[in-house]
């Protein structure tokens, strides 16, 4: 019933257009700019950004997400006349244990993979720890990354998934579309320009992973936890010159990036690691009926139920 939560609000086309343009503007702008600029111009932009102190650059990158997430909530609540709870889950309340469990799984997996790879070959990995800078990075990450991942999840897996789903009356199309668009909107990241468009398969694959979590669990909770854990590890554990966001992480990769090796690592993540993570969640939360959950149609008899079951005073 997650997609059907969209029927709890007012869904005029112009309300959808206003909300989408206002909240997805940062992604649309980046993508249009990326398409218009040459490779040389993009390299100059990345070079100028690398000259900004890492923590200051991180704050500048993350602050807009806080305002946009607040704007999304404001528009959903007042323009669509919906609760934020209906945007989050089909259950009666938010299950914070799910968020914490998903967060813990990805953090533990990231640390284990890093430790194993470090002991296999750490010739290009250098200790980068600066206590003062890392402490500031840690505070910035804890304070601002929840807004960044919150906007992306509530926008793509929440708002757009639901609005597109109730428009087309099925589940597979919003899953595919939001996953592809989620990937494309990351195309302006430095690693895409430097290693080729093949990197986009990783972003799109990650979009599918998060979308499957959302539809199978009827909520954003697992996707929120996974996305937050992933981004925190990317910021705190190891950084490199071609990372999307430069940080004062514990370690720095000092070698020359090899597109083939990096693409192989991404393929391993999509083909092996992601299915394992889904298997863990499926066992823990007893997921069943995958075909109907991921590709089924939205049944008309559910629509009135979705409209009438909301108890507004008790919602977030």
What are the boundaries of each domain within the chain? 3-314
Four-point Cα dihedral 50, 52, 55, 61, nearest 10? -80
Rounded to the nearest integer, the mean pLDDT of the chain is 86
How many C-beta neighbours within 10 Å does residue 154 have? 24
Instruction: Give the Cα separation of 64 and 68 in Å (integer).
Output: 6
3-state DSSP: the chain helix, strand, coil percent, rounded to 5?
75, 5, 20
If one compares 195 and 103, the residue with the highest pLDDT of the two is 103
pLDDT digits (tens, 9 = 90+) for 257-277: 666 666 777 788 888 889 999
Residue 315 is predicted with a pLDDT of: 36
If one compares 27 and 75, the residue with the highest pLDDT of the two is 75
pLDDT digits (tens, 9 = 90+) for 68-98: 999 999 999 999 999 999 999 999 999 999 9
pLDDT digits (tens, 9 = 90+) for 49-68: 767 788 888 998 899 999 99
pLDDT at 175 over 80: yes
Instruction: Give the Cα separation of 55 and 247 in Å (integer).
Output: 6
Of 263, 257, 256, 246, the closest CA to residue 199 belongs to: 263
Q: What is the mean pLDDT of residues 218-240?
A: 94
pLDDT at 316 over 50: no
151 exposure class (CB count in 10 Å sphere: 0-12, 13-18, 19+): buried
pLDDT at 313 over 50: no
Residue 309 is predicted with a pLDDT of: 43
Residue 159 is predicted with a pLDDT of: 97
pLDDT digits (tens, 9 = 90+) for 273-312: 899 999 999 999 999 999 999 999 987 555 544 454 444 3
**Would you state the structure tokens that stand for residue 310, as one six-digit string?**
């909301």
Q: What is the mean pLDDT of residues 188-200?
A: 72
Confidence class for position 26, pLDDT limits 50, 70, 90: confident
């Amino acid at each position: 019933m997650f997609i059907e939560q969209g029927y709890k609000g007012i869904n005029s086309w112009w309300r959808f257009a206003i909300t989408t343009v206002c909240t997805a503007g940062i992604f649309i702008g980046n993508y249009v700019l990326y398409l218009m600029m040459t490779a040389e111009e993009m390299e100059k932009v990345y070079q100028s950004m690398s000259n900004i102190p890492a923590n200051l650059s991180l704050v500048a990158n993350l602050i807009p997400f806080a305002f946009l997430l607040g704007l999304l909530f404001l528009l959903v609540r007042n323009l669509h006349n919906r609760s934020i709870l209906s945007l989050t889950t089909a259950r009666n309340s938010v299950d914070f244990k799910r968020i914490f469990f998903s967060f813990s799984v990805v953090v533990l997996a990231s640390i284990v993979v890093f430790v194993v790879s470090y002991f296999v070959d750490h010739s290009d990995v250098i200790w980068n720890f600066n206590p003062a800078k890392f402490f500031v990075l840690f505070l910035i990450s804890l304070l601002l990354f929840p807004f960044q991942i919150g906007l992306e999840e509530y926008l793509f897996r929440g708002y757009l998934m639901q609005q597109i789903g109730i428009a087309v009356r099925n589940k597979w199309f919003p899953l595919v579309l939001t996953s592809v668009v989620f990937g494309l909107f990351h195309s302006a990241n430095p690693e895409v320009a430097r290693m080729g468009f093949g990197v986009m398969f990783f972003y799109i694959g990650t979009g599918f992973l998060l979308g499957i979590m959302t539809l199978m669990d009827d909520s954003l909770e697992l996707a929120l936890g996974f996305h937050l854990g992933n981004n925190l590890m990317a910021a705190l554990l190891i950084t490199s010159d071609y990372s999307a966001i430069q940080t004062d992480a514990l370690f720095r990769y000092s070698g020359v990036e090899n597109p083939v090796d990096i693409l192989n690592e991404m393929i391993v993540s999509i083909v092996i690691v992601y299915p394992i993570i889904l298997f863990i969640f499926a066992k823990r939360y007893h997921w069943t009926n995958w075909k109907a959950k991921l590709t089924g149609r939205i049944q008309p008899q559910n629509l009135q139920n979705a409209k009438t079951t909301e108890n507004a005073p008790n919602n977030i």
